[in-house]
Structure 1
Amino acid sequence: MNLSNKQKQYLKGLAHPLKPVVLMGANGLTEGVVAEIDGALAHHELIKVKVPADDRETRNAVAEAICRETEAAFVQTIGKTLVLYRPAEEPVIKLPRG
């Protein structure tokens, strides 16, 4: 799923007050973590995921893997926190046209 810059800006504004829903542990990206992220996206549409990796390249690789596995769109990274979006069956968030 590709988001326009206008849509990303809108989602960033909505994500600002959110707290991370999923906290990855030291084991990294396991099947259980992916399943938890998938469930959170199905329920909330827009979530934050806390990644413990210190290396930016590692965080980017984790973000790509999560997006690939869950079919979510990457919105942004804030420090060690990823913001992800995937519309629900009946979307609650109305994205602007972009």
Structure 2
Amino acid sequence: MAWNIANDDPDELLYALYHSSQIAAHTNVVFYKNEDFDNLISKARETMDKEKRIDLYKKAQDIIQEELAHYAILYSMQNFAYKKNIKGIEVNKREYFNF
């Protein structure tokens, strides 16, 4: 099992995986519930100010890390090889290929 965000917005995972409203939606599979976290995520979803959103999501992420709401036990690194004569190979920011 793996998670990968498609749009570079932290809301895609933080809301789905940890917001208490998503327990019923079956994406918050760890049944995490924290009112401070929920408030930060809700505020971040309501503002269009990029810097404010970044600050709110960082604070929300700090709560998740502090409480160990989810603990990753495996992180795989991917290696890529290709010949110099092949052009146009690009690895995305997340170093992830979906075959």
TM-score interval for Structure 1 and Structure 2 normalised by the shorter chain: 0.3 to 0.5
Higher relative contact order (CA 8 A, sep 6+): 1
| Alignment TM-score, normalising by the size of structure 1 | 0.33
| Alignment TM-score, normalising by the size of structure 2 | 0.32
